[in-house]
Amino acid sequence: MSWTVQDQSFDRERITTNGNKFMTGNGYMGYRGTLEEFGKEQLAAVTLAGVYDQAGGKWREPVNAPNGLFTRLSCNGQQLGVLNTEPERHTQELDIRSAVHKRETVYGLAGGGQLVFTAERFVSMDQLHLLAGKLSINSTVDCRIVIESGIDGDVWDINGPHLHARQEQFVEGVLRSSAVTGELGVSVSVAERTVFSFDAKETAGDSAIRVISFDAKAGETYEWFKFAAVYTGLDAGDNPALLAEQNVRAAEEAGYNRLLEAHRDAWEERWLQSDCMIEGDDAAQFALRYSIYQLLIIAPTGSEKVSIPARGLSGQVYKGAVFWDTEMFMLPFFLHSDPRTARNLLMYRIHTLEGARRKAAEYGFLGAFYAWESQDSGDDACTLFNVNDVFTGRPLRTYFRDKQVHISADVVHGIWQYVIFTGDDTLLTEGGAEVIWECARFFYSYAYYNPVKQRYEILDVTGPDEYHERVNNNAFTNALVKETLEVALKSAELLQAKFPEEFRKLTRQFVDGPFLKEFQTMLDSFYVPQPDSETLLIEQFDRYFQLEEVGLAELKSRVIHKNEYWGGGNGLATTTTILKQADVVLMLNLFKRSYSREVKQANWEFYEPRTEHGSSLSPCIYALVAADIGSPDWGYPYFMRTATVDLTGESKQYVGDLYIGGTHPAANGGAWMAAVLGFAGVQFDGKVLYIKPALPEQWNVVELPLILLGDSFRLRISRNEITVTAATGNRNALALIAFGGERQLCRPGVRLRLQLAGTITADEQQGAL
């Protein structure tokens, strides 16, 4: 089974999408899948997690570090780079098992003969600040080679420049490039060391580039190594430059191979925790693993101050901001496989509570209104004018920032899911409860009471379907607000029972209310749109059913300009029933145990043809609910579309002249959800693990590891048989309901086999996990 993504030719048209497809990273930084000689024009970027800067009154965005792996080659004065010399052969390759990127390029030389250039590199998963590369040339003729190797400080920025007062130094073979960001004065330092395994003359080149020249003999391979390290003032205190230098020297000392080995080991560990195997469908298997790979390279394993931006670490698109995507589309993967990283993601929300409080206050509300586009401080990076009108060139007023209030409920949902999955209530005492209560207070102040209908409602919001702004009683939003209120009450109950002293301390700030009493009052008469008794349909929001029924094809035929925005005040979809992405159906997925199969099916069938899938967050939800209603083959195409989005590059790359491409972590997480929570039918509610598979035709088995309440399991799920293996070190037996049958217990160190054959037979063995 292949673990390799490969391109066997060079195509200028694919430079941008390959930057995403061949991406590497380690959660501290992302390194786009560009070639060694590429610069900012080719969107080369080393994007740092959590370092943001604003320049020239434009939006804040993440900072790209100078590229310490930059290398350029020439032979007898001929520039050997794919942009200068059309290669005779070229492969670019990414091994997603070990996250090692390789290229091999064969150039025809101007004077005859060929030169093979290879480069291998990785962003160390073992040492998060480190980048390393191994490079070589081999020419069929004697020739003069010049290598430019160093740090490319001419970084790609959308709204730069961000790095100022740049200083470059050459200290005993180590290049150091340091600068500070303009807005917050954060130091960003990169050190680099190139080590040659042959004799060569080295001179200083431009800025932080060294120039090495030597006479290469025909047939001989010349190999060299590069080590680079990145530190910033946020993680390294006073002297990031020194730390970077030390890291590079230590790396040289260790040598490339040992570094690679440690990196591979770390990746092996990751895959052991998270690999999900599919038997019977190689294409799906590869796409799913690739999706998991994309999540692993951006997971903030080392910091609870950052979360995952909507485009991961693949650049500055969408301001490097964290959206609801993280809690709703990525978190489930981490909850099941890597609770520590899941915790980091949620701690990020706790650390940004003040920003959410400021936003609520700005709009005159109580509590915490989380940023629609969240960066380091939690203040909202989202502007009121997010899109330009293609017809007039004027900025369009959109309501992402002020009306997508569900973000606060999404955060609460994430926190509570963490508690459910881990049983770790320290997250609550360390700020989680405060976040939950502040979000509930926000909704209490956002809600209105309808005196005639005698119920609380949530008015004037934008739900997941962003084409319909400023609607009342969006079913998704209301259902999540209800959950927020319930979680606020449950978490209070939990803390009061378990940590009464802590509870008193934590709640001191809320004594004047509104607090639990008011939450309960609101909950007692809170309105969540319900399925119609005849049609079983849930109306997406008040009066949605009154909108024009137009059909997607007809709507598309009305398009005048291919980049026109379908939402906003005058958007084509705004006055119709066409939706951007799953909305009601997403809610049915989140609260799947509260709705009948018939309701889910009716709504799937109604809403899917009306869904544009204009967001990469959309198709996976239709796959999930299709599986849930026992129609996995309806869902399969949506799963494949989701799981391959970053492989095919078939997504919007530009709006006007603005690059909006990058990786799609929410889709990556969505692919995982569709496979595991959808087709494999895995669901955990904090007490019982439900497994009700609905495998697509081609799939025979899904197998995966799982961590629940701190205990480890391995699931092997086929159409008729489920095997659950509990690790010997587990502390508790796991309650389990398979195929909708009887409750079983899976005790530590036991393998349980459950078959679907009239009755379920449980076959218990001592396990091997």
Question: Which residues are at the interface with its own copies (CB under 8 A)?
Answer: 364, 366, 384-385, 389, 391-392, 394, 396-397, 444-445, 447-452, 456-457, 459-460, 470, 472, 514, 518, 522, 542, 558, 560, 568-571, 574-575
- Is the Cβ of residue 137 or residue 572 nearer to its own copies in the bound state? 572
Q: What is the side-by-side strand order in the sheet with 100-108? A: 4-7, 89-95, 100-108, 114-123, 130-139, 221-232, 187-196, 174-181, 163-171
Cα(212)–Cα(207) distance, rounded to whole angstroms? Answer: 14
Cα(337)–Cα(334) distance, rounded to whole angstroms? Answer: 5
Q: Which residues contact 383 (CB under 8 A, 6 or more apart)?
A: 59, 401
Q: What is the DSSP string of 403-440?
A: H-THHHHHHHHHHHHHHHHH--THHIIIIIHHHHHHHH
User: Nearest approach, Cβ of 726 to its own copies (angstroms)?
Assistant: 48
User: Nearest approach, Cβ of 569 to its own copies (angstroms)?
Assistant: 1
Which H helix or E strand runs over 713? Answer: strand 711-718
Side chain identity at residue 189, one-letter code: S
- Is the Cβ of residue 527 or residue 604 nearer to its own copies in the bound state? 527
3-class SS of residue 98: coil
Q: Which residues contact 511 (CB under 8 A, 6 or more apart)?
A: none
Helices (H), 23-170: none
Cα(546)–Cα(744) distance, rounded to whole angstroms? Answer: 48
DSSP code at position 507: H
- Is the Cβ of residue 539 or residue 721 nearer to its own copies in the bound state? 539
User: Nearest approach, Cβ of 135 to its own copies (angstroms)?
Assistant: 53
Report whether 306 contacts 349 (CB < 8 A). no
User: Nearest approach, Cβ of 654 to its own copies (angstroms)?
Assistant: 22
Cα(379)–Cα(386) distance, rounded to whole angstroms? Answer: 16
Report whether 695 contacts 719 (CB < 8 A). yes
From 434, 466, 539, 721, the catalytic residue: 466
Report whether 705 contacts 693 (CB < 8 A). no
- Is the Cβ of residue 133 or residue 463 nearer to its own copies in the bound state? 463
- Is the Cβ of residue 223 or residue 542 nearer to its own copies in the bound state? 542
Tokens 């730069």 -> residue: 160
- Is the Cβ of residue 448 or residue 654 nearer to its own copies in the bound state? 448
User: Nearest approach, Cβ of 408 to its own copies (angstroms)?
Assistant: 16
User: Nearest approach, Cβ of 510 to its own copies (angstroms)?
Assistant: 13
Tokens 């770790």 -> residue: 424
- Is the Cβ of residue 558 or residue 652 nearer to its own copies in the bound state? 558
Question: In 3D, which of 732, 757, 734 has the Cα closest to residue 746?
Answer: 734
User: Nearest approach, Cβ of 485 to its own copies (angstroms)?
Assistant: 13
- Is the Cβ of residue 6 or residue 525 nearer to its own copies in the bound state? 525
Cα(481)–Cα(501) distance, rounded to whole angstroms? Answer: 28
Report whether 538 contacts 474 (CB < 8 A). no
Report whether 314 contacts 351 (CB < 8 A). no
User: Nearest approach, Cβ of 656 to its own copies (angstroms)?
Assistant: 16
Cα(611)–Cα(579) distance, rounded to whole angstroms? Answer: 5
User: Nearest approach, Cβ of 399 to its own copies (angstroms)?
Assistant: 11
User: Nearest approach, Cβ of 396 to its own copies (angstroms)?
Assistant: 6
Question: In 3D, which of 135, 132, 207 has the Cα closest to residue 177?
Answer: 207
User: Nearest approach, Cβ of 372 to its own copies (angstroms)?
Assistant: 17
Cα(96)–Cα(110) distance, rounded to whole angstroms? Answer: 36
3-class SS of residue 483: helix
- Is the Cβ of residue 215 or residue 554 nearer to its own copies in the bound state? 554
3-class SS of residue 568: coil
Q: Which two tokens stand for residue 106?
A: 């064969």
744 bridge partner residues: 736
- Is the Cβ of residue 8 or residue 557 nearer to its own copies in the bound state? 557
Tokens 């080369």 -> residue: 44
Q: Which two tokens stand for residue 463?
A: 């739900």
Question: In 3D, which of 708, 675, 668, 36 has the Cα closest to residue 297?
Answer: 668
CB atoms within 10 A of CB 360: 23
- Is the Cβ of residue 347 or residue 471 nearer to its own copies in the bound state? 471
322 bridge partner residues: 374
Considering only the C-alpha atoms of the chain, give the largest distance between any 2 of them, rounded to a whole number of Å: 90
In degrees to the nearest 10, what's the CA dihedral of 248, 253, 255, 259?
Answer: -60
- Is the Cβ of residue 58 or residue 498 nearer to its own copies in the bound state? 58
Helices 433-446 and 516-524 cross at an angle (nearest 10°) of 50
User: Nearest approach, Cβ of 526 to its own copies (angstroms)?
Assistant: 12
Cα(116)–Cα(217) distance, rounded to whole angstroms? Answer: 13
Q: What is the DSSP string of 146-188?
A: EEEEEEE-----SS---EEEEEEEEETTEEEEEEEETTT--EE
User: Nearest approach, Cβ of 449 to its own copies (angstroms)?
Assistant: 4
Pairing of strands 688-691, 734-738: parallel
- Is the Cβ of residue 1 or residue 560 nearer to its own copies in the bound state? 560
- Cis ω for the linkage preceding 619 (within 30 of 0): no
227 phi, psi to nearest 5 deg: -125, 130
Is 466 considered catalytic here? yes
**Catalytic residue numbers?**
466
